[in-house]
Amino acid sequence: MNVKSGFTYLLRIVGLVALFFAASFSVTARADVNVTFYSHDFGKNFPHAFFVAKGELSDGKKVDTAFGFTAINVSPGILFGSVNGHVKAPSASYIASSNPHFTVKIDDGKYRKLMAVVQKWQAIPQKSYSLNKRNCVHFINDVIKTLDLKTNLKTANWKKPRSFMEEVMKLNPFLK
């Protein structure tokens, strides 16, 4: 190997090392989605616990959605057993009149997991809503666990959305 070809070879190696080094420090686009958890005081409107997701995914897709789980028809029937339920997006005015409790920033992976929970709940066979076994708080608990936050599976707050959210905040003191 002559000096010129050795020098060229060395330059190629240094160039490749520099390229790999620079690639290891490159900044990839990250999702910037904020998920805020709400409760709504009891009344004629449902769901009483829900979340709102807003922001942008790393591919530039905008996110502006909200979901909760509730009975399709709120009637005395919910007191006696399971009824038809659905995942519902609360209206903007309903969100505005609700109580925000805490917000979590998530990345693309967590957003995909969050939406998988929504899809799972949308696919539950009817009669899917049960005041005692599968209500809005159970749905939100499933979402919160997906985001790796602590919850209390033995909570006394399955029918108390505000109290449940406050309990989650106590279990995860970094939440605001």
Please list the pLDDT of the chain residue by residue as tens digits (176 residues): 555 555 555 556 655 455 555 444 434 456 699 999 999 866 555 558 999 999 999 999 999 999 999 988 777 777 778 887 889 999 999 999 999 999 999 999 999 999 999 999 999 999 988 888 999 999 999 999 999 999 999 999 999 999 999 999 999 999 97
Residue 109 confidence (pLDDT):
94
Q: Is 15 contained in some domain?
A: no
Q: Is 11 contained in some domain?
A: no
Q: Is 82 contained in some domain?
A: yes
Q: Is 7 contained in some domain?
A: no
Residue 26 confidence (pLDDT):
39
Residue 27 confidence (pLDDT):
44
Report CA torsion sign: 123, 108, 93, 163.
Answer: positive
Residue 78 confidence (pLDDT):
74
Residue 117 confidence (pLDDT):
97
Domain count, the chain: 1
The domain in which residue 50 lies consists of 32-171
pTM (2 d.p.): 0.79
Q: Is 18 contained in some domain?
A: no
Q: Is 27 contained in some domain?
A: no
Q: Is 137 contained in some domain?
A: yes
Q: Is 8 contained in some domain?
A: no
Residue 24 confidence (pLDDT):
45
